[in-house]
Amino acid sequence: MLNDIFLPVTMAKYLPCNGVGGTLKLAAATASLQLPFDKQILKPQELYQWAMQPDNLPKIGVSYSTTADDEKATEILKYVLFES
């Protein structure tokens, strides 16, 4: 059972389309497994807070947006692209 949990984390670095998002998720999953049980990364806000610490991902910029932020940006883009 333990191998089933760790296999996706260890194999992720070999996938061809890992990219920045894959790098972020792999690093966060590895870090989360090393944290105490009550401090593991389980929510998007916790992932963002972990990623913003200077020592975790020094060369990757991370931003956080809520669903409301995304919906507002979608409406603005629809207006700009289709109504102006």
Residue that wins the pLDDT comparison between 12 and 60: 60
User: Which one, of 47, 43, 39, lies nearest residue 63 by Cα?
Assistant: 47
Q: Which domain holds residue 10?
A: 2-83
Tokens of 15: 């996938």
Q: pLDDT-based confidence at 13, cuts 50/70/90?
A: low
Q: Where are the alpha helices (DSSP H) in the chain?
A: 2-11, 19-34, 44-51, 67-78
Tally of domains in the chain: 1
pTM above 0.85, yes or no: no
Portion of the chain with pLDDT greater than 70, in percent: 77
Q: What is the mean pLDDT of the chain?
A: 82
Q: Is the pLDDT of residue 83 over 60?
A: yes
